[in-house]
Amino acid sequence: MKMEQHETEDHWPPSYSILDCLPWEDVLFKKVFPNLAVQTLFSLRRVSKQFHECITYYFQTSKCLNLSRIAARCNGVAFQIMTNDNSNLQELNLRNSKDWLTDELLVPVLQRNSRLLLIDISNCTRLTNESIRILALHCPNLCRITLRECIWLSVVAVTNLVLHCRGLTHVDLSGCWNLNDEAVVTMAMCCQQLEFLSIAKIYGVTDHAIANVASYCRRLKHLNMTGCWRVTNESVILLAEYCRDLKALQIRECRDINEQSLCKLREKNVKVDIPKYPYTIVCPLTRSLQRLNVQI
């Protein structure tokens, strides 16, 4: 009886894990891991040596890394684990990584990933223009870049970027208030495939910049110039004339833009973010009398 039990145990089938049953690259990497939180992936690394090997290989081969939802809970060590051996990244979203992301961490990643198409480093306050310089040199195929609230961004950095990355179609520079007409004009001339452009709250932008955008960026679909109070009807009329694919225009806080120019865009079903007001020509004398509450 004891002999029979011993023989049964010797022939007991070996145990299997999910990693033995499912193809890593075809199933786990494509269907399972992208739906798991980054914290879960790091927890799986601690389950066993096999899981550690699997997750490490997944990080090495990933084409997309999005840390925007956990930026406040991430750190430089975790970022290095996820990126150190990866040269396949095409999308990199590090939005709001302001507490830990530095040039020293980001630059090596940019140097290794020349096929990068999309990057979002909005509100990453510890970065400098050095990261933009490396991005321009090593990622010439870049299509989309988001730099919201990167107040350190300079005109020279933007100029360098657009001279090397001429295929940009989506650019968000909202809140980068160190920029001016020169940066926007250079971008318009170099990146004529632009479809989305946000220059909101760049207070130095004037009609000169928007006129060049209208002239060169004929494929533009969405323009956000909220807070660009120096822009007037003059350049908006040019947008209506040349940007025939325009679908949306954001002009809140642009005090010198009114229905004199917007009516032409509304006729083309362009969505404008302010309500329609009747436009009437009022002479200066009449306006002065109205301010003094004089009956006319």
| Cα 132 versus chain centre, distance | 13
Q: What is the CATH number of the domain that holds 159?
A: 3.80.10.10
DSSP designation for 15: P
Residue 4 has pLDDT above 50, yes or no: no
At 236, the pLDDT band (50, 70, 90 cuts) reads very high
CA dist 105 → 1, 110, 122, 126, 231 (Å): 65, 10, 16, 11, 39
- Rounded to a whole number, what is the largest CA-CA distance in the chain? 117
pLDDT, position 125: 96
On the 0-12 / 13-18 / 19+ scale of CB atoms within 10 A, 176 is: buried
Q: What is the pLDDT of residues 257-295, one digit of tens each?
A: 999 999 999 999 999 999 987 655 445 555 554 555 544
Instruction: Let me know if residue 35 belongs to a domain.
Output: no
**Reported pTM:** 0.85
Domain with 263, as residue range(s), is 143-291
* Number of compact structural domains in the chain: 1
Instruction: Let me know if residue 219 belongs to a domain.
Output: yes
Instruction: Let me know if residue 213 belongs to a domain.
Output: yes
Residue 223 has pLDDT above 50, yes or no: yes
At 23, the pLDDT band (50, 70, 90 cuts) reads low
What does the pLDDT average to over 85-90?
96
